[in-house]
Chain A
Amino acid sequence: GAVVSQHPSRVICKSGTSVKIECRSLDFQATTMFWYRQFPKQSLMLMATSNEGSKATYEQGVEKDKFLINHASLTLSTLTVTSAHPEDSSFYICSAARGTGANVLTFGAGSRLTVL
């Protein structure tokens, strides 16, 4: 089946630094990937839609200059949290559609960011 890989699975950084999270589709090409954020005991919140070769589409309230998304190839999208602060600590999850049938989305295992 379709596999989406995220790296790193856990990252701890100091306040003010930037952190990059990678999302890869391992056995299929993904022209579109989605980035979600999840705070403890809450549901997943869609942050942005990442499109290969073009600018990402951000959901209302998500700062595009804070959360930089790059989708440079059909198998890789990256999310960079710039100038991270403790309130950015969260579980970040990406997903992609394989494109068969009803376009089932496959999710990565998630990346837990802790900003000190």
Chain B
Amino acid sequence: DAKTTQPPSMDCAEGRAANLPCNHSTISGNEYVYWYRQIHSQGPQYIIHGLKNNETNEMASLIITEDRKSSTLILPHATLRDTAVYYCIVRVGRNRDDKIIFGKGTRLHILP
């Protein structure tokens, strides 16, 4: 079973920041938080991951609470192309055979 809880859907206006929350209250000390997204009829796309510290890359920022029980993915300037299902996943990730179990994700609608 997935170890994360996400809202089923969210709307965000184009050009605004999209903030997607994720609850992972049972996360273990050696588990990373990963975010992927899936645009319709495509394979999931990696966005970002983190362990304890906040992370930022060219796609997004990841804010992890100090107790690591929740996190927020931030898309700073959402565009219509960001419409997708976003998955928050916790995984050890130390070994290549550490599998990913997907939850239901958040369906993000970017509104023009």
User: In the complex, are the beta carbons of B49 and A112 less than 8 A apart?
Assistant: no
User: In the complex, are the beta carbons of A95 and B100 less than 8 A apart?
Assistant: yes
> Does residue B76 face the partner (Cβ distance < 8 Å to A)?
no
Total residue contacts A-B, CB cutoff 8 A: 68
> Does residue B67 face the partner (Cβ distance < 8 Å to A)?
no
Contact code string A41-77 (vs B, CB < 8 Å = 1, else 0):
0011110010100000000000000000000000000
Q: Which one of B42, B93, B103 contacts A102 once the chains associate, using CB atoms below 8 Å?
A: B93
Contact code string B88-108 (vs A, CB < 8 Å = 1, else 0):
000001111111111111000
Q: How many residues of A contact B (CB 8 A)?
A: 29
User: In the complex, are the beta carbons of A31 and B43 less than 8 A apart?
Assistant: no
Tell me what chain B mostly uses at the interface: helix, strand, loop, or mixed. loop
User: In the complex, are the beta carbons of B43 and A107 less than 8 A apart?
Assistant: yes
Q: How many residues of B contact A (CB 8 A)?
A: 27
Q: Which one of B41, B49, B94, B96 contacts A31 once the chains associate, using CB atoms below 8 Å?
A: B96
Q: Compute how far the CA of A22 lies from the CA of B42 in the bound complex, rounded to whole angstroms.
A: 16
User: In the complex, are the beta carbons of A43 and B102 less than 8 A apart?
Assistant: yes
Tell me what chain A mostly uses at the interface: helix, strand, loop, or mixed. strand
> Does residue B74 face the partner (Cβ distance < 8 Å to A)?
no
Contact code string A78-108 (vs B, CB < 8 Å = 1, else 0):
0000000000000101011101001111111
Q: B: which residues have CB within 8 A of A? A: 32, 34, 36, 38, 41-46, 49, 51, 85, 87, 93-105
Q: A: which residues have CB within 8 A of B? A: 4, 6, 30-32, 34, 36, 43-46, 49, 51, 91, 93, 95-97, 99, 102-110, 112
A-B contacts, 15 listed (Cβ < 8 Å): A6-B43, A31-B96, A43-B102, A44-B38, A44-B44, A44-B102, A45-B102, A46-B100, A46-B101, A51-B97, A102-B34, A102-B49, A107-B36, A107-B44, A110-B41
